[in-house]
Structure 1
C-alpha cells in the first residue's frame, strides 16, 4: 500500500493497529496492511477484546494524539464486528466493552444488540445484558 505508519500498537506477534500519515486506522499483519473502515473489516482486530478496555483505549488514544489524528479509534465498529459474527466467545468479550462507549456509539449498535438479545446462540447472561443496553438506548431515544 506504500503508506508510512506513524505509530503502532502491537496486539500479538506480527499483528498491530496503526494510523497512517493520512489518518486512516489500519491493521498490520506481518508485511500486509488492511484498512479498518467498515464494520466487517474489524474481525482482524478482535484480539484487542482480550485486553482491558482502558489499556487499549489509552494506547490507541496516544497513537491518535501523537499523529494529530482527526478521528479516534472506532471502538463501536470493533464491538459491532464481534457482535455481528454471532460467536459466543467474541460476543462475550465485546459485551464487556459496551459500557465504555458513548451514548451515540451504543445507539449505533442498537440493531446488533437487539440481535444478540433475541438470539438462541448467546448465553442467557449475555442476552440479558443486551436487553439492558437496548432498553437504555430506547430510553435515551425517548428523551431526545
Structure 2
C-alpha cells in the first residue's frame, strides 16, 4: 500500500483520513492504513456522521485541493455504508447528510433509501424522509434532488 500521505484530517486521537500521493482515500488508525474504496470499507469512518456535514466537507475538500486530487471524497459511499448497516443510530445520522449530496450521488443510494423506507427498524420520521428522497429520485427532478 502507498504509505506516502500528503495531508490528513484527524477524526479522533490516532484516527485520521488522508489522501495518498496516488490519489487513494485512506483511513489511518494505530499506525495502519485501510483504503476507502468499496461501500463496506466506510464503517471505519461512520464517526464523521456525528459532525456537521459542512465542517467535514470543508476539511476533506481542503485535503483534495492540497493534493490536487482528481477524486473528491466519496460522501455517498459513507452515507450508503451507514444506511446499509440497518442501525437506527447511524441511519438517523446518515439521513441528515443525504440532503447535501448532488442529484447523481443521491440516485446511487436509491436501493438503500428504498430499504430504509420499507424497514421496520427505522423511525417513522426517517422512513418518511427516505420515501421523499426515493420519490424525488424516481421523478428525476434535479431541482428537488439538490
- Please indicate, yes or no, whether the TM-score normalized by the shorter chain is above 0.5: yes
Unaligned runs of 5+ in 1: none
Alignment check: 8 A CA contact 2:2 2:22 kept:
no
TM-score, normalising length from structure 1?
A: 0.96
Q: How does 1:1-144 map to 2 (within 5 A)?
A: 1-140=1-140
Alpha-carbon distance in structure 2 between the residues aligned to 1:6 and 1:92:
33
CA shift digits 1:85-131 (9 cap, x unpaired): 00000000000000000000000000000000000010000000000
Query: TM (normalized to structure 2)?
Result: 0.95
How far did 1:2 drift? Answer: 4.8
CA distance in 2, matches of 1:42, 1:8: 16
Aligned residues: 141
Query: What does the per-residue CA deviation read over 1:45-83, in whole Å, with 9 as the maximum and x for residues that have no partner?
Result: 100000000000000000000000000000000000000
Question: Which structure 1 residue ranges, 4+ long, deviate > 4 Å from structure 2?
Answer: none
Name the CA distance, whole Å, in 2 between partners of 1:22 and 1:135: 38
Deviation at residue 30 of structure 1 after TM alignment: 1.4
Task: Output the CA distance in 2 between the equivalents of 1:18 and 1:57.
Answer: 13
